């Protein structure tokens, strides 16, 4: 067994997958492992399990997803967690709610919140010109002063800055440059700001640089102190601790035209790493959702003021309304500040997806009902199946 090659391992993964969908690990109630979780009535746990187990398995089968971890939020509690499939196909390691995945661009909602905290301290205003706050040789180039790039543009992907990513394998010798070195010379507008949505990882790399400028702290330190710690996100990190690496899901891609066959892919770093190269668990993602569905408050601790939260969850540009990022929801969808904002059956829904080489993540919350669902997977580009699963979970809550 130890001498098998990559091709044999892929085929073995296919055989494992044939039993994957019958091996669902549903906790049925919240584990006592993480803060913020509470046991619920057995009847309610059984009801949620009965409703969601087939939906999770359907999403994994149709989306070709090796494993999935999910956590449901109601108010300030995690009311249900579950996991299905294998985090490591070769070792047959079952996924758990505590399994660690890359959370991808769901992290943008956290970086945005960090920047808005500094806005509340009077460091800038949303419609200020960003170039007026840049230093260290940084400048947004090709900008017409009549149409400046504002902070609101950065946070709604309407800045006109390009996408970019700058992928590096974790094990290669090259490492991502510093934020300043990376941004220098790359802040060139691809189009005039405010004319269309152009999803931009560079914009959120610039957000990280601005957080450093305004706070006087390294970006990672600021996020740990002001976002992760207050929301008890103890298993969310830019570099996984040893005990997190022990729980890390392998990233996979399905092999084309060979149903049920997967190949492992490299873990990646990125030049634009603040845009979403962050590790976490479904439980921690659920903690983040608790703060969101409770108006910027986590277990009595206010993360953002009510007025800032209201602005963050308001659709910013009506002319860009419509199904977002691969068809999420309906014609009411559009960008708030980082969050997608939509209306469904009279309720305001916020959401965001994330995708990095072999991982797909999704967050969705109903602000009226104060419910939410966090989903992490080691499936590749599985967005639309997670969208459907999230709606089923919100409906079940």
CA 73/CA 391 separation, integer angstroms: 13
* pTM more than 0.85: yes
The CATH number linked to 177 is 3.40.710.10
C-alpha radius of gyration, the chain, whole number: 21
Mean of all residue pLDDT scores within the chain: 90
Co-location of 364 and 262 in the same domain: yes
Same domain flag for 218 and 233: no
Please indicate, yes or no, whether residues 359 and 388 belong to a single structural domain of this protein. Answer: yes
Q: Clarify whether residues 328 and 382 are in a common domain.
A: yes
- The total domain count for the chain is 2
pLDDT, tens digit, 9 for 90 and up, residues 81-136: 999 999 999 999 999 999 999 999 999 999 999 999 999 999 999 999 999 999 99
Mean pLDDT of 222-250: 98
Average pLDDT over residues 165-191: 92
152 domain residue, yes or no:
yes
Domain residues for 257? 6-100+229-396
Q: Is residue 105 part of a domain?
A: no
274 within domain boundaries: yes
- pLDDT digit string, tens, across residues 288-298: 999 999 999 99
Q: How is residue 14 written in tokens?
A: 């296919």
**CB contact set of 316 (below 8 Å; sequence gap of 6+):** 152, 156, 334, 335, 336, 337
- The answer to the question of residue 1 being in a domain is no
Under 8 Å between Cβ of 338 and 109: yes
Q: Same domain for 346 and 270?
A: yes
Residues 168 and 314 in one domain: no
Are 196 and 322 in a shared domain?
Answer: no
- Residues 311, 240 within the same domain: yes
**Over the stretch 331-390, which tens digit does the pLDDT of each residue have?**
999 999 999 999 999 999 999 999 999 999 999 999 999 999 999 999 999 999 999 999
User: Residue 39 — pLDDT band, cuts 50, 70, 90?
Assistant: low
For residue 115, the surrounding DSSP H or E stretch is helix 108-120
Q: What is the pLDDT of residue 40?
A: 64
> Is there a single domain that holds both residue 312 and residue 383?
yes
In a domain, 25, yes or no: yes
Residues 285 and 362 occupy one common structural domain: yes
Domain-terminating residue out of 159, 194, 225: 225
Q: How far apart are CA 112 and CA 193, in angstroms?
A: 18
Tell whether 17 and 116 lie within a shared domain: no
Q: For residue 224, give both structure tokens.
A: 């740990």
Please enumerate in sequence order all residues whose Cβ is within 8 A of that of 65, keeping only pairs 6 or more positions apart, or say none. Answer: 59, 85, 360, 377, 378, 379, 382, 385
Are 26 and 131 within one domain?
no
The two three-digit tokens of residue 13, written as one number: 């993964």
């Amino acid at each position: 067994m130890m001498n098998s090659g990559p091709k044999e391992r892929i085929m073995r993964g296919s055989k494992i997958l044939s039993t994957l969908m019958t091996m669902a690990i549903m906790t049925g109630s919240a584990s006592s492992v993480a803060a913020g979780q509470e046991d619920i009535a057995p009847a309610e746990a059984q009801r949620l399990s009965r409703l969601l187990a087939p939906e999770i398995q359907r999403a994994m089968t149709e989306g070709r997803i090796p494993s999935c971890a999910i956590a449901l939020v109601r108010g300030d509690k995690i009311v249900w967690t579950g996991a299905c499939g294998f985090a490591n196909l070769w070792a047959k390691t079952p996924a758990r709610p505590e399994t660690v995945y890359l959370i991808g661009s769901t992290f943008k909602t956290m970086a945005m919140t960090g920047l808005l905290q500094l806005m509340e301290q009077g460091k800038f205003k949303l419609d200020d010109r960003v170039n007026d706050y840049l230093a260290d040789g940084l400048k947004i180039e090709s900008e017409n002063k009549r149409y400046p790039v504002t902070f609101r543009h950065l946070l709604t992907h309407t800045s006109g800055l390009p996408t970019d990513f700058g992928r590096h394998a974790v094990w290669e010798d090259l490492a991502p440059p510093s934020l300043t070195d990376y941004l220098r010379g790359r802040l060139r507008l691809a189009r005039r700001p405010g004319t269309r949505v152009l999803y931009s990882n560079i914009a959120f790399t610039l957000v990280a640089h601005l957080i450093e400028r305004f706070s006087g702290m390294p970006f990672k330190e600021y996020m740990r102190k002001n976002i992760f710690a207050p929301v008890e996100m103890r298993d969310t990190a830019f570099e996984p601790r040893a005990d997190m690496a022990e729980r890390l899901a392998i990233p996979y891609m399905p092999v084309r035209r060979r149903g049920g066959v997967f190949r492992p892919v490299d873990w990646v770093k990125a030049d634009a790493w603040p845009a979403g190269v962050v590790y976490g668990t479904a439980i921690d993602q659920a903690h983040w959702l608790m703060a969101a569905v409770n108006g910027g408050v986590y277990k009595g601790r206010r993360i953002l003021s009510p007025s800032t939260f209201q602005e963050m969850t308001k659709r910013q540009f009506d002319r860009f309304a419509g199904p977002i990022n691969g068809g999420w929801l309906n014609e009411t969808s559009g960008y708030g500040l980082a969050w997608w904002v939509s209306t469904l059956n009279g309720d305001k829904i916020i959401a965001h997806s994330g995708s990095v080489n072999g991982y797909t993540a999704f967050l969705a919350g109903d602000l009226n009902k104060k419910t939410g669902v966090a989903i992490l997977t080691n499936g590749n580009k599985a967005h639309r199946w997670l969208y459907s699963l999230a709606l089923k979970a919100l409906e079940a809550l």
